[in-house]
Structure 1
Amino acid sequence: MPQLDLDLLRTFVAVFEAGGFTRAAALLGRTQPAVSLQVQRLEEQLGTSLFDRGGRGVALTTEGAALLPQARRLLRLHDEIAASLGQGELEGEVRFGAPEDIATSHLPAILGAFARSHPRIRLSVTCDYTANLLDQMSRGLLDLALVKREPLGPDLGISVWREPLVWAALEADFAAQRPLPLIVAPAPDIYRKRALAALDAAGVAFRPAFTSPSLAGQLAALRAGLGVGVLPEAMVPRDLAIVGEGLPPLAEGEIALVSARATPTGPADRLAQEVLRQLGRGPARP
């Protein structure tokens, strides 16, 4: 019977949850060849392939899919035992940033669970625009941040999920109004940038009907019937309409996790793993 290496199992789970060997390598602070070698060693121990390497993306073989829940259970049990014995209990502080809409819609459960499972790690959360978050990170004020970026590759952080952007309003026929009453955040919000660029390119006349940096403020204006706004499709509340006709399409956005260090360590690394694990498949619509 093979003696399973917990480090190899942790790498296997990380590759699946991160969505690829390259992202897992960045998350684990290792090189991509090193991560591939660890998975290969685990496969050799088990005598079977765990990943289907013939297609695009990361797909588990039948054996890999069977191993995944068992590996997670074993790692969770190991971590619980270590914590109960006072071993490996991390201490310190993580200064985390995120845009307000992401922080209020997708992060409360994740951050709450993280705080309960790591009571000695202090969380300090800042909500702001991406440009301001990156500025704070450059000045050493943040350790990690979720930011909105153009989907242009790995130049800025680790991609967490892509988000289709849509026009939203109280009723779909709002799209026919001219000039179009627009509900947006102030500059330099990326959704505002997408909206203005799309309307300009399509020659659609518009007027600013409501401007607010707060997602709650924008949603209130949409529900009051003041105009049309731009939201990630997954974040459109069910009492608002997605406007599919009469307005130009919007290019999708991308959310990335950025670290102040090339490889986050200690408490920041643990939070980065949890955020990627929970959000790596994209958030559900509220």
Structure 2
Amino acid sequence: MVAVNLPTDVLRTFLAVIDLGSFTKAGQLLGRTQPAISLQIRKLEELVGKTLMDTSGRNITLTREGESLARYSRQLLAMNDEIVARLHHKESIGNLRVGLPNDYAVAFFQTALANYSKLHPETEMSIQCDTSEQLLPMFERDELDIVVAMFDGDPPAGLIYTWAERPIWVAGGDFAAGNKPAVPIAAHPEGCHYRDRMIRSLDQIGKPWRITFCSPSINGLQLAVQSGFGVTALTRRTLLRGMRVLTDRDGFPPLPDIHVGMFFKNTGASTAALLLVNHIMQSLYDSGLSDFVRLERLGSMSAST
């Protein structure tokens, strides 16, 4: 079988059309005519033997194969551009706007960003912590350059890496589940992926529950659990001393995995952004934590929840 090589310039055109939502805008960015952009997309479809885009409506939509290729393309181009940047000794000067979810491993990512800053003091960073539901629209509006966020179902545009985290039920050391008529839950506000999974799991086994503590901060939930206000769902990354894990034996069913992704637009990306994306992913690889159940650097994502 003859190997098929995908030209990086064609992949850049493909991502530019996706990121800008227009063949014409992609052409203006890349210095090509709209027919030339269309020709490159057709060439790419011929190379992979699949239809990648549906342009029959007002907006450009990706087919399933197009979504998969977009993720691969972002990863490959990020690696390609980092290699070139390092070999050419390009400076990582720039101001990066990074979005982190305040309900997921904030401390871990803050440490990763702090380590990057030590390696690249010439890079300035502005960090926005919010819920995934707020961060992703900000990313779509180009208000953030790199975002780590949780999602369910089909991933939003710009996904470059994805992995799964397995949440666990936790409680204070002296919590007694059998003494409660309804499970007291400490949770983030409505819309939180952890909250949804806790409620859904308890409803499925007919176990009554009530929200006894609500906070947008993961630190607030950790303190609430330690103080005995209720149980919550965390990952082993955010488990603190004095907490204990609740299992089926305690009457708490396993919780479904949470899908997490890093979102990044290659189009117009700076050297600093490319280096930071790969630094964060290397930090995740090096973490070696047991709840980090699947990291897909060059692979497709399972949509199961």
| TM-score under structure 2 length normalisation | 0.62
CA distance in 2, matches of 1:282, 1:263: 30
Alignment-derived partner of residue 196 in structure 2: 193
The CA deviation at 1:219 is 0.7
SS state of the match for residue 98, structure 1? strand
Q: CA RMSD in A?
A: 3.1
Q: Deviations over 1:29-71 (max 9, x none)?
A: 179xxx8xxxxxxxxxxxxxxxxxxxxxxxxxxxxxxxxxxxx
- Of the candidates 244, 247, 268, which is equivalent to residue 252 of structure 2? 247
**2:74 is the counterpart of 1:26:** yes
Alignment-derived partner of residue 236 in structure 1: 239
The CA deviation at 1:213 is 0.6
CA distance in 1, matches of 2:233, 2:104: 14
Per mean C-alpha deviation after superposition, the further-off stretch among 139-148 and 93-102 is: 93-102
| TM-score under structure 1 length normalisation | 0.66
Q: For the structure 1 residues 274 and 233, does the alpha-carbon distance in structure 2 shift closer, same or farther, using more than 3 Å as the test?
A: same
Residues 26 and 263, structure 1, Cα contact 8 Å, conserved in 2: no
Alignment-derived partner of residue 170 in structure 1: 172
The CA deviation at 1:172 is 7.1
Count of matched residue positions in the alignment of Structure 1 and Structure 2? 217
Alignment-derived partner of residue 91 in structure 1: 93
Match for 1:208: what amino acid? I
Alignment-derived partner of residue 266 in structure 1: 271
Q: For the structure 1 residues 207 and 154, does the alpha-carbon distance in structure 2 shift closer, same or farther, using more than 3 Å as the test?
A: closer
CA distance in 1, matches of 2:176, 2:260: 29
Match for 1:268: what amino acid? A
Write out aligned runs for 1:102-113 (5 A).
Answer: 102=104, 104-113=106-115
CA distance in 2, matches of 1:99, 1:241: 24
Q: Deviations over 1:152-207 (max 9, x none)?
A: 67976134432111110003753332211111000111111111111112211011
CA distance in 2, matches of 1:281, 1:24: 22
**Uncovered stretches (5+) of structure 1, i.e. residues with no partner:** 1-20, 36-74
Per mean C-alpha deviation after superposition, the further-off stretch among 135-144 and 124-133 is: 135-144
Alignment-derived partner of residue 140 in structure 1: 142
Residues 71 and 159, structure 2, Cα contact 8 Å, conserved in 1: no
The percentage of counterpart residues that share the same residue type is: 25
The CA deviation at 1:134 is 0.6
Match for 1:26: what amino acid? R
CA distance in 2, matches of 1:152, 1:237: 32
Write out aligned runs for 1:73-92 (5 A).
Answer: 87-92=89-94
